[in-house]
Amino acid sequence: MKIVRSHTTLENGIEVVTDYAPNFQSVAVSVSFRIGSVHEPDEKSGISHLLEHLVFRGSKNRTGEEIQAAFSEFGGYINAETDEDSTNFVARILKDDLADSLQIIADMVINPRLDEDDIRLEKQIIEQENCRGCYNCTMRDAFYAQAFPNQSIRNPVIGYEDTVEALTKKDLQEYHRLAYVGKNLTVAICGDIDHETIITYVQAAFGNIPTGQAAGYPRFTYSPGELLLGSNSDRSTLRFGFPLTDFPLRQARAAILYYDILGGHGQSKLMYELREKRGLVYGAWADEYNCAGQTILFVEASGEAKNMPEISDVMIQTMINTARNLQDRDLELAKKRAHSGMLMSLDDVFERCKAIQADISDQGRLYDWKKRYDEYQSLTLDEVGKAGEEIIKLEPTIIASGSMRNMPKFAEIRAKLKGKDISLGEQKQGLWGLLK
């Protein structure tokens, strides 16, 4: 399948990108401002997310009810999401309704009414949305607080109860004036559309948005840390986070294949060693997360608290063995998964818009799909293994949750990652072992 993506920068700084998807009846729209929680001062933590909520309360020209009714009449969908480095408004409609949809979205983001009663109500709603205390949020916040102490990346996107409550209409108006500007905005559209026609639509809808100043990424300094979140649960979790931000592009590609082999799928090395061979966990995984220009490889496993010393040892030894003992078949399958993942994403117009936004945010330009494919396919066994070995040499941030009594000492974990001998216990033969 040929990928046809076109990119134009308007006079007021807006990046307009189209991805031509012939024969699709619907169109996906992503109106994304490169502004999020990492751009907020500590005392204004949560303002990006609150502003995103308030945009849906109505503009100076339309009520919130009228906005929702319009998309219902289109038979379409509109939503939004704030994360660490962007605020993204998305819609899916039929292509005949695209011009009108862009007009409505532009009105929402350019002219939010920011009514005092709406602000009060949305603060209440956000408090109900509050997910502090849930497992994923707790582990995320704990990791970034330890790895990036006293830096904005550590703050939750949703903010804190006291900072959100303290936000005023004036705060929101000023933040909107600085953040929702052309230099921060990418409009990505995927469907059976014509690029020049889309330029006309976007200019008509967003032409009066001020150019402003690009926010960019703040500078962050990684500092390896560690934290045990103690509890009385009989289950525990161990998460390692390795900073990959400084890896050059080819080594970063090799690292992606390494961690895919290690823990990126149901038949990964971690799953085999921890679950199928020993029955120690239900799941174990490795994955990369890019946040505001900071790339972290997470390796995680959860199991019974009493088994955490063995789980930790198996995690570490599997990381080392995967890097040192890669087989041709491992690499062949990892490349195939990378290729199939890229191709399958082409079936989803939202995923294609998401890929556009990632390219513009991270590199300021569109990355060629064929070039990306060729880069992965050209990687050698030696390069992928060495990328794994370089990851293991990095100083991780370690977050553990569960019983303090059974958790291995962090100093011992670090020593074993540096090469201290590990003696693994007796292995139980699981289903895979019987099939081998």
pLDDT at 60 (0 to 100): 94
Q: How far is CA 317 from CA 159, 252, 273, 310, in A?
A: 38, 22, 10, 10
Give dist(CA 417, CA 396) in Å, integer.
Answer: 9
pLDDT at 224 (0 to 100): 97
pLDDT at 146 (0 to 100): 97
pLDDT at 416 (0 to 100): 96
Give dist(CA 353, CA 374) in Å, integer.
Answer: 22
- Contact residues for 334 (Cβ-Cβ < 8 A; gap 6+): 257, 260, 261, 384
DSSP 283: E
Q: Backbone dihedral region of 296: left (phi > 0), alpha (psi from -120 to 50 degrees) or beta?
A: beta
Asked if residues 407 and 226 have their Cβ atoms less than 8 Å apart, the reply is no
pLDDT at 424 (0 to 100): 62
Asked if residues 210 and 109 have their Cβ atoms less than 8 Å apart, the reply is no
Q: Could you count the other beta carbons within 10 Å of the beta carbon of residue 414?
A: 17
* Amino acid (one-letter) located at 193: I
Domains of the chain from N-terminus onward: 4-206 (3.30.830.10), 226-435 (3.30.830.10)
Q: Could you count the other beta carbons within 10 Å of the beta carbon of residue 22?
A: 10
Q: Per the confidence metrics, is the pTM higher than 0.85?
A: yes
Give dist(CA 281, CA 271) in Å, integer.
Answer: 8
pLDDT at 405 (0 to 100): 84
Asked if residues 353 and 188 have their Cβ atoms less than 8 Å apart, the reply is yes
Give dist(CA 169, CA 375) in Å, integer.
Answer: 49
pLDDT at 258 (0 to 100): 98
pLDDT tens, position by position, for the chain (436 residues)? 678 999 999 999 999 999 999 999 999 999 999 999 999 999 999 999 999 999 999 999 999 999 999 999 999 999 999 999 999 999 999 999 999 999 999 999 999 999 999 999 999 999 988 766 677 788 999 999 999 999 999 999 999 999 999 999 999 999 999 999 999 999 999 999 999 999 999 999 999 999 999 998 899 999 999 999 988 888 899 999 999 999 999 999 999 999 999 999 999 999 999 999 999 999 999 999 998 889 999 999 999 999 999 999 999 999 999 999 999 999 999 999 999 988 898 889 999 999 999 999 887 889 888 898 999 999 999 999 999 999 999 999 999 998 888 899 999 999 999 987 766 654 443 333 333 3
pLDDT at 274 (0 to 100): 98
